[in-house]
Amino acid sequence: MEDIVIEAKKRDIIGKHVKALRREGWVPAVIYGQGIDPIAISLDAKFANRVLPGITSSQFVTVDVEGEQFTTLVRDRQKHVIRNYLLHVDFMSVSMTEKLHTNVPIELLGEAPAVSEGGILVTGQDNLDVQSLPKDLPERISIDISTLLAIGDAIYVRDLEVPEAVEVLTSEDEMVVLVTAPAAVEEEEVEEEEEELFVDEDAEPEVIERGKKEEEDIED
């Protein structure tokens, strides 16, 4: 697992005043977790926007706050709805000696021969709900879909190869990927109402209450 370290500095600027930080090239962020008080920090915007978008929900990031290091998971990334740059980041500090409850993304590898024969690939689960010690947590679960040879072939959670030290909480009967016949795909016209989320760049999102909820995901 690649070590990712990001440097940060403590900040006193909060609330609507964080817009000034962004103009100066900083991304406001917060670290919270079991056993620590939330720490308001700032990240170098160029580095954060280059590194953090590719981080998975199960990939550890070491946040160095003026010499004090925290092992964290990225819990939330708020982005500008148009320009797509980071507005705020939530980091959850984790204990390396306590089991962690989180999601691990599923990665599909290869090509399904059944799709070449006209089948349609339908995906179900795109991540697994798991629990493990941080040292045993995989960044992702990779599956080879070249085993899908015929229409109707499928891969379920029970078929996945997961490290022994990782407990899978997602039901083993959940479908991960399935090859179906074109006629079996029901064509529907779905009208989706997009809810436009207004992001006030002058304000800093409330993270303390969400942080407390996230702490509940860490098992004793």
- Kindly tell me if the per-residue pLDDT of 136 is higher than 90: yes
Q: What is the largest CA-CA distance in the chain?
A: 60
Which domains does the chain show, CATH number per domain?
5-94 (2.40.240.10), 100-184 (2.170.120.20)
Q: For residue 8, what is the enclosing H or E element? A: strand 5-10
- The burial class, CB within 10 Å (0-12 / 13-18 / 19+), for 74 is buried
| pLDDT on residue 15 | 82
Q: For residue 132, what is the enclosing H or E element? A: strand 127-132
| pLDDT on residue 188 | 42
Please give the model's pTM, rounded to 2 decimal places: 0.72
- pLDDT tens track for 171-185: 999 999 999 998 755
